[in-house]
Amino acid sequence: MKRKKAKFIGMVGLAVLCFMFLSAGSVLAQQNAPKYHLKVGSVELADAANTKGFEAFKAYCEGASGGEIKIDLYPANQLGSLDELYEGVKTGVYQLCQGDETITGIYDPMLVLSIPYLFPNEYVVMKFFNSPFFKQMSDGFAKSTGVRILAATTYGFRCFTNSKRPIKSLDDMKGLKIRVQQNPIMIELVKSLGGSPTPISWGELYSSLQQGVVEGQENPPGLVYDSKFYEVQKYMTMDEHVLAFNLYYANEKWFQSLPENIKTIFLTGARIGADVEYGLRVYENKVSIARALEKKGMEIYIPPQSLKDTFKEKSQKPILAWLKGKIDPNLVEQAIKTVADIEKQVAEEAK
Tell me how many degrees the CA angle 73-219-237 measures, rounded to the nearest 5: 145
Q: How many helices (H) and strands (E) does the chain have?
A: 14, 9
d(CA 261, CA 38): 17
Q: Which amino acid is at 215?
A: E
Locate the DSSP E strands across the chain: 36-41, 69-74, 96-100, 147-162, 177-180, 196-199, 216-219, 235-251, 299-301
Say how far apart CA 35 and CA 67 lie, in whole Å.
Answer: 8
Nearest to 247 by CA among 117, 36, 85, 17: 85
Mean pLDDT (whole number) for 189-193: 97
How many other C-beta atoms are found inside a 10 Å radius of the C-beta of residue 246?
A: 26
Three-state DSSP state, 165 = coil
For the stretch 324-351, pLDDT in tens is: 999 999 999 999 999 999 999 999 999 9
Question: Cα–Cα distance between 244 and 130 in angstroms, integer?
Answer: 16
In this prediction the pTM is 0.88
- Spatial CA neighbour of 150 closest among 331, 272, 278, 56: 272
Please list the residues that pair with 218 across neighbouring strands. 160
Dihedral over Cα of 226, 227, 232, 234: its sign: negative
| pLDDT score recorded for residue 202 | 81
Contact 327, 110 (CB under 8 A): no
pLDDT at 263 over 60: yes
Cβ neighbour number for residue 216 with a 10 Å cutoff: 28
DSSP per position, 247-271: EEEEEHHHHHHS-HHHHHHHHHHHH
Q: Write down the H helix ranges in 92-238.
A: 122-129, 132-145, 170-173, 184-192, 205-211, 221-226
Tens digits of per-residue pLDDT, 28-61?
334 579 999 999 999 998 999 999 999 999 999 9
Split at pLDDT 50, 70, 90, the class of 192 is: very high
Which residues lie below 8 Å from residue 248, measured CB to CB, with a gap of 6+? 57, 96, 98, 99, 149, 150, 151, 152, 270, 273, 274
Q: Is the predicted pLDDT of residue 226 greater than 90, yes or no?
A: no
Query: Are 192 and 227 contacting, i.e. CB atoms less than 8 angstroms apart?
Result: no
Q: Considering only CA atoms, which of 166, 312, 301 is closest in space to residue 221? A: 301
Report which of residues 4 and 171 the model is more confident about: 171
Give the pLDDT confidence score for residue 231 in this predicted structure: 98
Collapsing DSSP to helix, strand or coil, 168 comes out as coil
Give CA–CA dist 311/288, Å, rounded.
26
pLDDT at 25: 43
Between residues 167 and 14, which one has the greater pLDDT?
A: 167
Using the predicted structure, report yes or no on whether residue 256 has a pLDDT greater than 70.
Answer: yes
